[in-house]
Structure 1
Amino acid sequence: MPEVHLVGGTCAEALRLAPVAAAMRAQGRLTPVLLAGGADPAAVARTFAAFGRPADVALPATDSRAAAVRRLDQLWAVRTPSAVLVRGDNLAAGLAAYWRRIPIMHLDAGRRSGSLRSDDRAEADRRLLTQVATVHLAATPQAAMNLLDERVVAGDVLLTGGTAVDATAALAARGTTPVSRTNPLVLVGVGAAADDAVGTAMRRLTAERPEVDVAAAAPLPYPDRTRVLSAAYLVLTDDPDLAEEALAAGTPVLVPGDGGGHAEALHAGGARTVEPVAEAILAAIRSLLESRLRRDVMVTAGSPYGDGLAAGRIAQATAALLGHGQFPEPMPARPLITTP
Structure 2
Amino acid sequence: MSKPRILTIFGTRPEAIKLFPLIHALEADSRFESRVCVSAQHRSMLDQVLSIADIRPDHDLDLMTEGQTLDELTARALTGIGKVLDEEKPDWVVVQGDTTTVMAGAIAAYYRKIPVCHIEAGLRSGDIYQPWPEEVNRRLVGTFARLHCAPTQTSADALLKENVDPACVHVTGNTVIDALKWVTGRIEAQPSLASGLADLEKRFAGKRIIGITSHRRENFGEGIQNIANAVKRIASRDDIAVIFPVHMNPNVRAVMNEQLEGLGNVALIEPLDYPHFARLLDISHLMLTDSGGVQEEAPALGKPVLVMRETTERPEGVEAGTAKLVGTDTETIVREAEHLLDDHEAYALMARAHNPFGDGHSSQRICDLLAAG
Q: Summarize deviations over 1:159-179 as a string: whole Å, max 9, x none.
A: 101111000001122235256
Residue of structure 1 in register with 2:289 after alignment = 237
Q: Give the alignment of 1:46-195 within 5 angstroms.
A: 46-62=48-64, 64-89=73-98, 90-117=102-129, 120-175=132-187, 177=191, 181=201, 182=205, 183-190=207-214, 191-192=219-220, 194-195=223-224
Task: State which drifts further: 58-67 or 262-271.
Answer: 58-67
Identity of matched residues, %: 29
| Contact persistence 2:59–2:84 (CA under 8 A) | no
Q: CA RMSD in A?
A: 2.1
Q: Summarize deviations over 1:129-181 as a string: whole Å, max 9, x none.
A: 11121111100111000000000010010110111100000112223525664
Extract unaligned runs of 5+ from structure 1. 322-340
Distance in 1 between residues matched to 2:84 and 2:29, nearest whole Å: 26
Instruction: Return the match for 1:16 from 15, 18, 35.
Output: 18
Please tell me the residue identity of whatever aligns with 1:83: W
Extract unaligned runs of 5+ from structure 2. 248-270
Please tell me the residue identity of whatever aligns with 1:160: T
| Contact persistence 1:141–1:159 (CA under 8 A) | yes
Shift of 1:58: 1.5
Q: Summarize deviations over 1:79-134 as a string: whole Å, max 9, x none.
A: 21121110112100001111122111000010001102398221111111111211
1:209 matched to 2:261? The reply is: no
| Contact persistence 2:130–2:311 (CA under 8 A) | no
Rate the CA distance shift 1:127–1:303 in 2: closer, same or farther, 3 A: same
Give 3-state SS (helix, strand or coil) of 1:50's partner: helix
Task: State which drifts further: 7-16 or 301-310.
Answer: 301-310
Residue of structure 2 in register with 1:305 after alignment = 357
Distance in 1 between residues matched to 2:47 and 2:368, nearest whole Å: 24
1:255 matched to 2:311? The reply is: no
Rate the CA distance shift 1:117–1:3 in 2: closer, same or farther, 3 A: same
Give 3-state SS (helix, strand or coil) of 1:207's partner: coil
Distance in 1 between residues matched to 2:78 and 2:294, nearest whole Å: 27
Distance in 1 between residues matched to 2:10 and 2:74, nearest whole Å: 14
How many residue pairs get matched?
Answer: 321
Rate the CA distance shift 1:46–1:56 in 2: closer, same or farther, 3 A: farther
Rate the CA distance shift 1:118–1:47 in 2: closer, same or farther, 3 A: closer
Shift of 1:239: 2.1
Distance in 1 between residues matched to 2:157 and 2:134, nearest whole Å: 19
| Contact persistence 1:45–1:55 (CA under 8 A) | no
Shift of 1:55: 2.6
Rate the CA distance shift 1:109–1:290 in 2: closer, same or farther, 3 A: same
Q: Summarize deviations over 1:32-84 as a string: whole Å, max 9, x none.
A: 22222142345324312212333332123246111111111111212211211
Instruction: Return the match for 1:37 from 33, 36, 39.
Output: 39
Please tell me the residue identity of whatever aligns with 1:195: I
Q: TM-score, normalised by structure 2?
A: 0.80
Rate the CA distance shift 1:174–1:263 in 2: closer, same or farther, 3 A: same
Distance in 1 between residues matched to 2:80 and 2:232, nearest whole Å: 45
Residue of structure 2 in register with 1:268 after alignment = 320
